[in-house]
């Protein structure tokens, strides 16, 4: 049976007061509701009910041409299932019928999920009332809609109303029950166009990755212009394939998660623009994910026991970052590379040797037959006493070594060279990672990013952490390199936190994790 929205009646007051009490620190009293309900004209009070049980309510009061939204609340146990959105849509339609041109309301600054709900319905923050909520001193954010009688506003209202119908029909449909939200994720930060559908932040229903590597290989690295063009060509089909494979349709989704930084700007905007368009057309909320957070969340998919506080090392073609994660969503960068990223060093050395692109998998394969102690390459910053990395010196040392040997007419033993180079990279990473877990006293260590696919790095970290009694999580190879399943995992967590991305959000090439 679906949920319905109807006018509030005196017999609903008991249930309404109970929800009011659990929702607001300064709840309205019975008298206040009774007074409101006997005002003739310029008011609409609605409840949403399912199976004869009131699950939420809200009201609008018309003042001049503004409809003030009052006391919108949903019962604790059934939030995040579209009932608030449906109620708001019905209130907006009523407000329009009462003659309102604008919707307005005040919301607690810290009530992120309510603000996200209103933003998704087209309300914008237009000001702040400092210390408005006297009991906590918290600020109120004033929100305001564009003219709902204008064509653009009317179209949005119609979309909201249609989405509300779906929400009510689906309640308690099998998409939003205990299994958790159904999320479509989109990733396009570098040279992989990826989409995934996930249930409840864990269960990967589909994960499609269209790699452009062949188009970049002949240039020995990612060419940004080619990347954007290829994303544009692939994205519609990739998303469709992910949806088909998951056996789902857009109407079933609870959220769309998208990588909005860091990465190549021209590549990021393709995924973000697509996700925004889909969100606008369907009314499904949008959630923004930092690509590095995605790499860390890949570990949650690999091992559900992983829990902060933890230390994470994200090593990819664009990053070498050692991070402290005291709790999910809070990130402190301990150190980064001062020059080349770890994957970039692998790629550049392989390119110099004419071995192809990407260099990481090629060199690590060759290294299996080489002697890691054959050549004593520098371990930059090993004893620097901090958590910074530097890889360009090592890259230069390898290139100089090759030139020197060639000039001397000696043949280079490529496996020995690959193993020695790899060992120099890994030694510093392991040493700094171990120092970090010891210094911070954490019990978990997570590895992420394309270079985490390196077997020797996985082994070395596994051994070193075991010796410290620290649990290690390393994602399976398919979740190390760029994919959308990891974005879905991080996106689901952010969605459940009530975070939403506005349709005016922009991609950020240099987005940092610590500033979230």
Place of tokens 């490529």: 414
Cα-atom radius of gyration of the chain, to the nearest Å? 27
- Measured from the CB atom, the residue of 78 and 426 that comes closer to ligand KG4 is 426
The listed partner (Zn ion, ligand KG4, none) that binds 106, CB under 5 to 8 Å by sort, is: none
CB 311 within 8 A of CB 333: no
- Measured from the CB atom, the residue of 75 and 291 that comes closer to Zn ion is 291
State the CB neighbour count (10 A cutoff) for residue 34: 11
CB 44 within 8 A of CB 34: no
Contacts (Cβ under 8 Å, ≥6 apart) of 319: 262, 292, 336, 337, 341, 449
- Measured from the CB atom, the residue of 121 and 190 that comes closer to Zn ion is 190
CA 200 – CA 185 distance, rounded (Å): 13
For position 316 contacting Zn ion by CB under 5 A, the verdict is: yes
Place of tokens 């060093």: 345
CA 516 – CA 509 distance, rounded (Å): 15
Mask: binding to ligand KG4, 352-391, rule CB under 6 A, as x and -? ------xxxx--x---------------------------
CB 153 within 8 A of CB 102: no
Shortest Å, Cβ 190 to ligand KG4: 5
Interface residue with Zn ion, options 141, 482, 493, 501 (CB under 5 A): 482
- Measured from the CB atom, the residue of 189 and 206 that comes closer to Zn ion is 189
- Measured from the CB atom, the residue of 23 and 483 that comes closer to Zn ion is 483
Segment 429 to 468, residues that bind ligand KG4, using CB under 6 A: 449-451, 453-454
Shortest Å, Cβ 291 to Zn ion: 6
Peptide bond into 424 cis (omega under 30): no
Shortest Å, Cβ 462 to Zn ion: 21
What b-and-e string marks burial along 224-234, b requiring 16 or more CB atoms within 10 Å of the CB? bebbbbbbbeb
For position 481 contacting ligand KG4 by CB under 6 A, the verdict is: yes
Segment 291 to 330, residues that bind ligand KG4, using CB under 6 A: 316-318
For position 293 contacting Zn ion by CB under 5 A, the verdict is: no
Shortest Å, Cβ 168 to ligand KG4: 41
- Measured from the CB atom, the residue of 450 and 491 that comes closer to ligand KG4 is 450
The listed partner (Zn ion, ligand KG4, none) that binds 451, CB under 5 to 8 Å by sort, is: ligand KG4
State the CB neighbour count (10 A cutoff) for residue 128: 13
Apex 443 CA angle, 437 and 444, nearest 5: 85
Residue 230's nearest CA partner among 242, 238, 240, 218 is: 238
The listed partner (Zn ion, ligand KG4, none) that binds 361, CB under 5 to 8 Å by sort, is: ligand KG4
Please give the backbone phi and psi of residue 475, each rounded to the nearest 5 degrees, phi first: -65, 155
- Measured from the CB atom, the residue of 60 and 267 that comes closer to ligand KG4 is 267
Segment 113 to 152, residues that bind ligand KG4, using CB under 6 A: none
Segment 131 to 160, residues that bind Zn ion, using CB under 5 A: none
For position 243 contacting ligand KG4 by CB under 6 A, the verdict is: no
The listed partner (ligand KG4, Zn ion, none) that binds 372, CB under 5 to 8 Å by sort, is: none
* Chain-centroid distance, C-alpha 498: 12
Number of chain positions touching Zn ion (CB under 5 A): 2
The secondary structure element, H or E, covering residue 424 is helix 414-440
CA 472 – CA 327 distance, rounded (Å): 17
Q: In the 8-state DSSP scheme, what is residue 191? A: S
For position 261 contacting ligand KG4 by CB under 6 A, the verdict is: no
- Measured from the CB atom, the residue of 264 and 501 that comes closer to ligand KG4 is 264
Residue 176's nearest CA partner among 65, 313, 78, 276 is: 78
- Measured from the CB atom, the residue of 255 and 453 that comes closer to ligand KG4 is 453
Residues forming the site for ligand KG4 (CB under 6 A): 190, 316-318, 343-344, 346-347, 358-361, 364, 449-451, 453-454, 481-482
Residues forming the site for Zn ion (CB under 5 A): 316, 482
């Amino acid at each position: 049976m679906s949920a319905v929205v109807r006018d509030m009646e005196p017999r609903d007051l008991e249930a309404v007061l109970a929800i009011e009490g659990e929702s607001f620190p300064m709840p309205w009293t019975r008298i206040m509701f009774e007074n409101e309900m006997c005002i003739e004209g310029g008011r609409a009070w609605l409840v949403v009910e399912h199976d004869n049980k009131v699950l939420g309510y809200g009201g609008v009061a018309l003042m001049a041409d503004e409809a003030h939204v009052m006391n919108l609340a949903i019962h604790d146990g059934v939030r995040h299932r579209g009932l608030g959105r449906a109620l708001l849509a019905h209130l907006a339609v009523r407000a329009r019928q009462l003659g309102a041109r604008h919707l307005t309301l005040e919301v607690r600054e810290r009530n992120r999920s309510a603000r996200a709900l209103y933003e998704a319905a087209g309300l914008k923050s237009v000001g702040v009332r400092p210390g408005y909520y006297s009991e906590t001193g918290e600020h109120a954010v004033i929100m305001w809609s564009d003219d709902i009688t204008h064509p653009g506003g009317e179209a949005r209202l119609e979309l909201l109303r249609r989405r509300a119908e779906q929400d009510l029909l689906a309640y308690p449909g099998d998409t939003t029950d205990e299994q958790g939200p159904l999320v479509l994720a989109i990733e396009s930060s570098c040279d992989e166009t990826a989409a995934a559908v996930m249930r409840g932040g864990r269960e990967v229903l589909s994960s499609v990755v269209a790699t452009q590597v062949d188009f970049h290989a002949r240039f020995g690295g990612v060419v940004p212009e080619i990347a954007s063009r290829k994303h544009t060509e692939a994205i519609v089909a990739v998303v469709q394939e992910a949806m088909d494979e998951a056996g789902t349709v857009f109407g079933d989704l609870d959220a769309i998660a998208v990588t909005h930084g860091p990465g190549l700007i021209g590549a990021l905007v393709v995924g973000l623009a697509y996700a925004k368009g889909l969100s606008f057309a369907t009314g499904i909320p949008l959630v923004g994910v930092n690509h590095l957070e995605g790499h860390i969340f890949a570990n949650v998919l690999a091992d559900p026991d992983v829990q902060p506080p933890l230390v994470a090392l994200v090593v990819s073609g664009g990053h070498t970052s050692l991070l402290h994660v005291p709790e999910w969503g809070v990130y402190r960068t301990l150190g980064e590379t001062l020059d080349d990223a770890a994957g970039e060093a692998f790629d550049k050395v392989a390119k110099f040797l004419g071995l192809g692109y990407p260099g990481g998998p090629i060199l690590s394969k060759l290294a299996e037959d080489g002697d890691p102690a054959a050549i004593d390459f520098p371990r930059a910053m090993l004893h620097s006493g901090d958590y910074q990395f530097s890889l360009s010196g090592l890259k230069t040392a390898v290139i100089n070594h090759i030139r020197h040997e060639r000039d001397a007419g000696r043949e280079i033993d490529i496996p020995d060279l690959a193993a020695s180079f790899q060992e120099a990279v890994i030694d510093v990473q392991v040493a700094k990672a171990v120092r970090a877990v010891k210094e911070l006293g954490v019990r978990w260590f997570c590895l992420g990013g394309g270079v985490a696919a390196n077997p020797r790095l996985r082994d070395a970290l596994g051994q070193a952490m075991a010796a410290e009694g620290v649990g290690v999580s390393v994602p399976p190879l398919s979740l190390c390199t760029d994919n959308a399943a990891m974005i879905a995992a991080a996106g689901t967590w952010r969605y459940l936190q009530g975070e939403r991305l506005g349709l005016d959000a922009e991609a950020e090439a240099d987005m940092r994790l610590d500033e979230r």
